[in-house]
Structure 1
Amino acid sequence: MELGLAGKVAIVTGSSKGIGLQTALQLVQEGAKVTLCARGEEQLKEAAAFIKSETGAQVLIVPADITKEEACKEIIQKTVDHYGRIDILVNNAGTSSANPFESVETDLWQTDLDLKLFGAIHTSKATIPYMRKVGGGAIVNVTAVLGKTPPASSLPTTVSRAAGMALTKAMSKDLGKDNIRVNTVCIGLIRSHQIELKWKKEAPELTWEEYSKNVVGPTIPLQRIGETVEAANVITFLVSDAASYVTGTSVNIDGGSGGTL
């Protein structure tokens, strides 16, 4: 399948590791030019070096705190200055913060919303004019499947992620006339540094495959934890020309564990 990503310019937030880094790598492998951004400059340099070692390609790195609107504008401006255009935005930056409702103080609510919701709002708003100039574009907001069916003690993450889903749908309605597609991927259990720490603490005698299948797997229809490449595959498809008639939708990447479509 031809994805039509060669020569496209993409920004991936939260791309120094995990799903963001894997997505950036796959976009580069498909011929796209990519900007990596995250808070840590050293981690970004390591990510850029990894992509170069895998592909031979250079990427632009922009250390930035996307909870700040001006930092979001700076990412977009530096990308345009460097590459001359923007076609793709992947709003991936985020952390997991899960607590009982009464224990969540106001500052944690604000921090979580600033990162996961307003970060996506500010980067998207600054990007859209440049997408219009090139005749369209694609935005993917990375959210979480638990935002659809929040369990107890899952705040503020599930609220900010649910807001990200609503943002996605509303943006897709507003921007369709400009040929700008907006979708969200709802992440379930995907291999991460945090999950690996839990594995080493709970069952260090098991291999990753044994832990994924035998300890966590029974709670997931596909019987295992997902890999970052599997999430990146879906994101890469959604921002590609192969998904040119897909907008305003959510795709669960959760091995079937979610309770909703």
Structure 2
Amino acid sequence: MNLGLTGKVTLITGGSKGIGLVTAITLASEGAHIAICARNEDDLRGAAARIVEKTGAKVHYIQADVSSEKDCQRAVAETVERFGRLDILINNAGTFAAGPFEHATHEAWTQDLDLKLFGAIHCSKAALPYLKESGRGAIVNMSTSSAKTPGASTLPTSVSRAAGLALTKAMSQDLAASHIRVNAVCVGLIQSDQIERSWKNQHPELTWEQFSQLPHHQIPLGRVGYTQEAANVIAFLVSDAASYVTGTSVNVDGGKGATL
């Protein structure tokens, strides 16, 4: 299948590692030009080198903190200055911050909402004029399947991610007339630095495959997911192959989520 991504310019926040980096490599392999932004310049430099090594694509990296509106505006401006356009925005920046309600401080709430919700808002707002010019713009907002059915000790992440789903649906309605599609990808347990640390700290005697398949993860497909599996879904949603898909969320969680 031809995804129609050749020459498309993509900005990925949180693009220096994990799902963001693997998505960058996946899109670059399909011929897209890539801009990644994150807070750590060393991580960005290494990520950009890896993308070039694997794909030979044009890559630009931007040190930015998306919890800052000015940094969001600068990231978009630098992308357009480097490549002359912007077709795709992937709002991926975020960390996992979860605990019981009584332990969630005002600072924790503010930091989480600034990073995950307002980061997506500010980046999307800055990107909007260029996505309109593209004529076939696409935005993907990253979320979690637990945002749809929050459990105990999931705050503030479940709230900021749930707000991101509402943002996705409302934006898809507002921007459809400008031919900009907006979707969300809701991940569950996906192989990441954080999960790998849990594996090495809690079960160093197990291989990754053994840890991934432990019953306590309660994943119907029987294992933790791979970053590439999330990246594949993101690539589809921003591609021409999904030209009639907008305003929806796709769970990439091995069936763990309780809702569609």
- TM, length-normalised to structure 1: 0.98
Displacement, 1:254?
0.2
Q: Which residue of 1 aligns with 2:254?
A: 255
Please state how far the C-alpha of 1:66 moved relative to its aligned partner. Answer: 0.5
| Mapped partners of 2:103, 2:193: distance in 1 | 25
Could you tell me how far apart the structure 2 residues matched to 1:61 and 1:22 are? 15
Q: 3-state DSSP class of the match of 2:183? A: strand
Q: Distance in 2 between the 1:180 and 1:205 partners?
A: 48
Q: Could you tell me which residue of structure 2 aligns to residue 98 of structure 1?
A: 98
Which residue does 1:60 correspond to in 2?
Answer: 60
The answer for the alignment partner of 1:130 in structure 2 is 130
User: Do structure 1's residue 162 and structure 2's residue 167 form an aligned pair?
Assistant: no
Equivalences for residues 1-261 of structure 1 within 5 A: 1-216=1-216, 219-261=218-260
| Contact 1:220–1:255 (CA under 8 A) maintained in structure 2 | yes
Q: Which amino acid aligns with 2:242?
A: A
Shift of 1:127: 0.4
- Contact 1:20 1:92 (8 Å CA) reproduced: yes
Q: Matched residue of 2:139: which SS?
A: strand
1:2 alignment partner, SS class? coil
CA offsets, 1:4-41, max 9 Å, x none?
00000000000100000000000100000010100000
Output one character per residue of 1:106-158: Cα deviation in whole Å (capped at 9) or x when no partner.
11111100000000000000101111112130000000111111111110000
Query: 1:215 offset after TM fit, Å?
Result: 4.7
SS in 2 for 1:62: strand
Is 1:116–1:161's contact at 8 Å kept on the other side of the alignment? yes
SS in 2 for 1:136: coil
Deviations 1:217-252 (A, max 9, x none): 5x1110000000000000000000000000000000
Deviations 1:195-221 (A, max 9, x none): 01111111111110111113555x111
Task: Report runs of 4+ in structure 1 exceeding 4 Å deviation.
Answer: none
**TM-score, length-normalised on structure 2?**
0.98
Task: Describe the superposition over 1:67-88 as per-residue Cα deviations: whole angstroms up to 9, x where unpaired.
Answer: 0101000001001111000000
Residue pair 1:131, 1:180 contacting (<8 A) in 2 also:
yes
Matched letter for residue 99 of structure 1 = G
1:141-197 deviation line (CA, Å, top 9, x unaligned): 000111111111110000000000000000000000010000000010000011011
Q: Which moved more, 1:197-206 or 1:168-177?
A: 197-206
One-letter code aligned to 1:255:
G
Aligned equivalents of 2:185 and 2:248: distance in 1? 8
Cα distance in 2 for partners of 1:76, 1:202 equals 40
Gap runs ≥5 in structure 2: none
Give the alignment's Cα RMSD to 1 decimal: 0.8
Task: Tell me the distance in 2 between the aligned counterparts of 1:250 and 1:55.
Answer: 29
Are the equivalent residues in 2 in contact too, given 1:48–1:58 (CA < 8 A)?
Answer: no
Distance in 1 (alpha carbons) for counterparts of 2:130 and 2:71? 17
2:153 and 2:134 mapped to 1: Cα distance?
A: 44
